[in-house]
Amino acid sequence: MGALNHAASKIAECIQNNGILHVFGCGHSHMLGEELFYRAGGLVPVSPILIEDLMLHKGAVRSSKLERQNGLGREFMQHISIEPGDVMIVASTSGRNPVPIDVADTARERGAFVIAITSPRYANTQSSRHSSGKYLYQAGDLTIDNHIEAGDTLMKEEALDIGFGSGSTIIGMAILNGIITEAVNIMISKGFTPPIFKSGNVDGAMEHNRKLIDRYKNRIPMLES
């Protein structure tokens, strides 16, 4: 089974067993969680772990410094509800910084299946900043390689020694949407009705969505906040 199909199968199994799909990333990678959350046509039981100090709007340089702190991920994960049977997706293209690794480690210790979206080829060109010396691709149960080169750029100008055309976010979102689509197909093929949001701009959607929110809001408080 390929990595994408494996991920879809684990997510389908999780949802069928009333589990939650958690998504975490620092910096621009946090957008992958927002992409899947509260999405028309998307799964309802998705919980993005959005730590504002690790996002750009509270200080871009500061967020980068914090991502490199050993132990910070374990600290805020104390307040995140992770249960056995849940699935955790952790995105970090370089995979070298401590916070995403600590999030992955903590989730695995609590019984979640951890999917790392990262670039092993990028990681192996850089030293790990984690106290253990490992990288994110070594911390999950399943690694999905986004094939991003070191520096997270798709274009280069050798004469000027610059790279440009950032690729990790759009590629990560494409990967995740493909996985979720296949997970839904798997659930349907097994006779299970997947919990899917309808667009709030379509007549009749509010009642449908409210029932699903009521079903999951105890584990995903952000649905009500």
Give the separation between CA 81 and CA 98, rounded to whole angstroms: 20
Angle at 114 between CA 111 and CA 115, to 5 degrees: 165
Give the separation between CA 23 and CA 90, rounded to whole angstroms: 6
- Contact between 4 and 31 (Cβ < 8 Å): no
Residue 64: what residue type? S
Indicate yes or no: pTM above 0.75: yes
Q: Would you say residue 74 has pLDDT above 90?
A: yes
The predicted pLDDT at position 168 comes to 96
Residue 207 tokens read as: 């009642």
Residue appearing with tokens 């979640």: 112
- DSSP category for residue 197: P
Predicted confidence band at 225 (pLDDT cuts at 50, 70, 90)? low
Integer CA distances (angstroms), 199 to 54, 152, 202, 205, 206, in order? 30, 33, 6, 6, 9
* φ, ψ for residue 93, nearest 5 deg: -70, -45
Give the separation between CA 62 and CA 66, rounded to whole angstroms: 6
What are the tens digits of pLDDT across the range 160-215?
Answer: 999 999 999 999 999 999 999 999 999 999 999 999 999 999 999 999 999 999 99
> For the chain, what is the mean pLDDT?
96
Query: What size, in residues, is the chain?
Result: 225
Give the separation between CA 192 and CA 198, rounded to whole angstroms: 17
Integer CA distances (angstroms), 17 to 12, 51, 93, 111, in order? 9, 27, 30, 14
Q: Would you say residue 1 has pLDDT above 90?
A: no
The predicted pLDDT at position 224 comes to 84
The torsion region of residue 194 among left (phi > 0), alpha (psi -120 to 50) and beta comes to: beta
Strand intervals (E) in the chain: 21-25, 46-49, 87-91, 113-118, 142-145, 153-157, 162-166
- Residue 164, C-beta contacts closer than 8 angstroms, at least 6 positions apart: 153, 155, 156, 157
Among candidates 53, 49, 42, 52, which has minimal Cα distance to 22? 49
Q: Would you say residue 85 has pLDDT above 80?
A: yes
